[in-house]
Amino acid sequence: MMDENTRPFTINHHHEQHLFNTIRERDCDEYHYRSSRDDDMNDIYTSTLRELDNERDKRWRAEQEIKHLNDIINEFKKRVNDGRTNETILHELTEKHKQRLADEKSKFQDLTAILDDYKARLRSTDDQLCSYKKAQETNLQLIKTLESSLSKLESEKNELRITENEKIRNWERRCNTLQNENEILQQELKTIKQQLRECQELYTTREIQHKQEFEKCRIDLQATEVQQYIKQEIQRKEDIHRTEMTHQQEKLQSIAIEYKKLEDEFRDALKIEERRYQDLLKTNEILQKENELLQSSSTNIKQREESDRKMVNDLMVLVREQKQRLQERTKLNENLTHQNKHLTTKLERTIDELKKIREQILLLQKERRELDSKIIAQESVLSGLREEKKLWSHELAHQGASLAQDRGRLESTIQTLTSEVNTLKKQLDKEVDTCRIKQTIIESQLDTIQKLKDVIILIHRKFRKLYQSKKENFS
């Protein structure tokens, strides 16, 4: 009978399309990881080649099983022909089955040990992955804290620059206003001095004019008319002079008062100028001190900026190193996950093979039980025949006439035995036919695997073309 594990492997168009879509999606995702794509494709090829090797091994094992069964059948036939007892045959078969079961148990124990080893490796790799993930998270947190501290330093630096620039501008404005006021006061002093000089020049010019007029007016003083005229003029002039003197005295008093006022104003202006000059000197000294402080602070700020730049460069180098380490760790994690997947696939395949071997053992046990039952039936028939033979020998001594009847009975029993032998031969032929059918099924599976391999090669070529076209587009 045909086993469920040895069905003909068929693939429909829908399954092929689904397989194509899954491979396409997987390769589209792997396009983002350009460095690991070729490795994945090589892994796909290696996995397909391994599957082919596994199928070949299964076919070889099936052929070996068929050969072994044929050998057992031939030995059974030879032993039947040799005339060996069924007990010895059963004993030999049981011993062989026991040996095979012991071998299978030892293989199963070895495979379970390998499974435990792989599970331990998987646990260790999982622990390593967890540690790598934790280290990656800590590194990312450190990078974030460093970036936040860098942004804070840059903001503080900008604020210090803005405040220092504002202070410098305010002091420059104050200096400019004080310089303008000083220039205005100096100009006012110059104008006052010029006015004083002009007043002195007017006074000297008028005195000279009076002297000249007095010299021009000289006449004979001994004449009466002249003397009278002189007297009149003298009186008139004296009156005029008196009036003028009073007027001039009043003017002089007013001028003196104004002069005193001007002197007081000038003195006050000089005092104000002195005060302003002293204030300017003090402010100049303060500004010089502040300028020195600002220069020292600017030098300190420049040094801080240089140190900050150095720190930033060092931090950037650290960030790059951390990124490189993270990339290396991600690559290691990917390799470990790939190895784990490969190991799990291997383990699953070995488990499937063990299950199939177990099913084959169960089938062999069932066949053995059937053979045991058949042999027991044949032994019972043989024992019955022996008893009948004894009875016939006794009856032959006593009954000679009943030989014809017994002959018919014996012929019927011989016919039944021959029919049983024919049925056994037919069963053997059927088993041979089933083995041949299994062989044809395996060959059909190999053909389908070859077709799948051709489909995978075509898909790989298509993806290579797509990858090259996308690479050209990106370039």
Q: What is the pLDDT of residue 267?
A: 76
Instruction: Compute the distance between CA of residue 178 and CA of residue 116 in angstroms, rounded to an integer.
Output: 93
Q: What is the pLDDT of residue 397?
A: 63
**Backbone torsion region of residue 215, taken as left when φ is above 0, otherwise alpha when ψ lies between -120 and 50, otherwise beta:** alpha
pLDDT tens column, 96-122? 767 777 777 777 777 777 777 767 777
- Residue 219, helix vs strand vs coil: coil
CA dihedral angle for residue 135, residue 136, residue 142, residue 146, rounded to 10 degrees: 150
Q: Pick the closest to residue 466 from 41, 35, 28 (CA basis).
A: 28
pLDDT tens column, 409-432? 767 777 777 777 777 777 777 777
Q: What is the pLDDT of residue 24?
A: 45
Confidence of residue 389 (pLDDT cuts 50, 70, 90): low
Angle in degrees, CA 416, 419, 421, rounded to 5: 110
Query: Stretch 323-350: mean pLDDT, rounded?
Result: 75
CB 27 within 8 A of CB 37: yes
Instruction: Compute the distance between CA of residue 30 and CA of residue 107 in angstroms, rounded to an integer.
Output: 39
Q: Pick the closest to residue 76 from 100, 64, 93 (CA basis).
A: 93
CB 5 within 8 A of CB 356: yes
Instruction: Compute the distance between CA of residue 163 and CA of residue 271 in angstroms, rounded to an integer.
Output: 37
Question: Quick one: what percent of the chain has pLDDT higher than 70?
Answer: 68
Q: What is the pLDDT of residue 63?
A: 73
CB 165 within 8 A of CB 277: no
Q: Pick the closest to residue 435 from 70, 102, 175 (CA basis).
A: 70
Is 360 exposed, middle or buried (CB count within 10 Å of its CB: 0-12, 13-18, 19+)?
Answer: middle
Structure token pair of residue 151: 């942004």
The residue with greater pLDDT, 391 or 397, is 391
Residue 360 contacts by C-beta under 8 Å, 6 or more apart in sequence? Answer: 65
Q: Pick the closest to residue 441 from 24, 137, 59 (CA basis).
A: 59
CB 103 within 8 A of CB 361: no
Instruction: Compute the distance between CA of residue 9 and CA of residue 394 in angstroms, rounded to an integer.
Output: 64
CB 28 within 8 A of CB 40: no
Instruction: Compute the distance between CA of residue 368 and CA of residue 355 in angstroms, rounded to an integer.
Output: 20
Confidence of residue 79 (pLDDT cuts 50, 70, 90): low
Q: What is the pLDDT of residue 403?
A: 56
Instruction: Compute the distance between CA of residue 122 and CA of residue 228 in angstroms, rounded to an integer.
Output: 153
Number of H helices, E strands in the chain: 5, 0
